[in-house]
Structure 1
């Protein structure tokens, strides 16, 4: 998983903004970061996955056939993960009150 993330980060860095393949690699990077979050529960990976996903949408032309898949539909499981993070955040707030 770590190797996939590094490879996709390198691909995104090497592909110029505006290139049609950039969104594909951003999407792959976002999926790998989401998998990392599912594996270790680190919310930073989820936050980065969301940011990368937004960048993938932003680089996909409005008339592109993959636009609908990237825009408006959260990646698989992200909604459930966000709910989990919110519960963890609430638990941390409760812990801080003690």
Structure 2
């Protein structure tokens, strides 16, 4: 019998969750800050992105992915870069529900 543990997982199995995301088909600029964006403009864009994430059926899976691969930029699973970095530093997910 062959040992298949080292073989890559089928792409569909690893990424199929993305087909069900609330952000699918939306402009990615909503989720990633342009160069030089700061202050109130950044907070407004992030709040709009997080509102999309709040209703997403795969929010938890998205956040798990971002944490696992250490996504450096953008809103993933309803959390921004700083929020994800705090989770990675403490090893604890926030108390909010992440579906």
TM-score normalised over the length of structure 2: 0.36
Greater relative CO (CA pairs within 8 A, separation 6+): 2
TM-score normalised over the length of structure 1: 0.36
Whichever structure has more helix as a proportion of its residues is: 1
